[in-house]
Structure 1
């Protein structure tokens, strides 16, 4: 079983029934959040970069749960995590659930000296790519060829990240089986139309787009 739960903005969780991975846990101050940081449970927290809407509640959740924080060394310092696993772009590591490969992301970081990143997570026999906040870049094609992605979570909100058109082109490069748009409609400045994204992707690729509302869960074994 692999269950993906979307919490709004770019926050989501993956659970294989044994381990639960929490990504960019932005709850406090997130107008779309359907839950709160004090009730979320997890074994691992993956943080793509240091902006407040991505680092979010990671330090508090890690302190409460004892979860292992996975990110760059600068992120671990920012979180002051007692349990942490530092990585850098192009590196991979094995964990109890499977493995994590850290990818590049073209975006500012929020912390001096920090590089923004994305992750390809292998869990329950599936490869899930979380792009983080990023612009479109040609090496996405290499990511798709390297990992044969089952699912990609891509930002579509424009202004700070890819917009709908660039994200749709990213799908062409990545060639995932399934796509979930994130990082949109949290505030007016990143307003976007996920239905338009779905239309563009499914017109030009074989990928299937799943539009999730905050609080929705998707059983990836049933896709």
Structure 2
């Protein structure tokens, strides 16, 4: 599987299909691509905040592809003319040959539409499986002890983990999350997009090494790829 970081929490996973997660590109100063240039077979959104839902509607319509998300957000997206596939935490959906399991995240969730704030269910993390490879996108979250169950049940090869602090866990929490999940690889995300979440990913990598964990930290620049 090939993983390309599109900046912030946006990723492109490519194996037998191309899956885009949290496509916040327009207005994202770190994004190396524009929404109109993204090709997708499936879009997965962890929650409705603008820096995660992002360009999902535009990309879905242009590629004629479904958006998989939590049930309440799927109802909102359906009203926008998108093929939305709703599911919920604990469930596994199989769409276009891709298996997506929705797991817990500790975060808030809503959509801003003009001056209106619309509730869109809970925030979540997702585990995407293609060709026998599993990637755990933790979404926006703090560390929580049940991450250990996620690791035991799903055994992800790669964990995409936020380190930016302020809106998510910081480096200390992210290191603990790797201790609980035990992925083979970890790619830090959700940092340096804006001044409030500035972090040095090398500090994260150093902290993981000092903790004695077997997880290999892979630091990507926006636009760079990692294949495993």
Could you tell me the TM-score, scaled by structure 2's length? 0.92
Aligned equivalent of 2:116: none
Q: Distance in 1 between matches of 2:152 and 2:63?
A: 36
Residue 78 of structure 1: how far off its partner (Å):
2.9
Range with greater deviation from structure 2 (74-83 or 198-207): 74-83
1:13 equivalent in alignment to 2:21: no
Residues 104-163 of structure 1: CA distance to partner in whole angstroms, max 9, x if unpaired?
A: 110010241510001011112111100000011100000001111200000000000000
- Mapping 1:205-216, distance limit 5 Å: 205-216=213-224
Q: Distance in 2 between matches of 1:49 and 1:185?
A: 20
Q: Distance in 2 between matches of 1:74 and 1:60?
A: 19
Q: Distance in 1 between matches of 2:142 and 2:195?
A: 19
1:128 equivalent in alignment to 2:126: no
Task: Give the 3 Å change call, closer, same or farther, for CA 200–97 of structure 1 in structure 2.
Answer: farther
1:95 equivalent in alignment to 2:95: yes
Q: Distance in 1 between matches of 2:17 and 2:98?
A: 10
Could you tell me which runs of 5 or more consecutive residues in structure 2 were left unpaired when the two chains were aligned.
112-118
Range with greater deviation from structure 2 (191-200 or 91-100): 91-100
Residue 212 of structure 1: how far off its partner (Å):
0.4
Could you tell me the TM-score, scaled by structure 1's length? 0.94
Q: Distance in 1 between matches of 2:96 and 2:185?
A: 25
Residues 164 and 193 of structure 1 are in contact (CA less than 8 Å); yes or no, is this contact kept in structure 2?
Answer: no
Task: Give the 3 Å change call, closer, same or farther, for CA 9–136 of structure 1 in structure 2.
Answer: same
Q: Distance in 2 between matches of 1:36 and 1:193?
A: 25
Aligned-residue RMSD, C-alpha: 1.1
Q: Distance in 2 between matches of 1:73 and 1:170?
A: 26
Could you tell me which runs of 5 or more consecutive residues in structure 1 were left unpaired when the two chains were aligned.
none
Equivalent residue for 2:182, pick from 172, 175, 178: 175
Secondary structure of residue in 2 paired with 1:136: coil
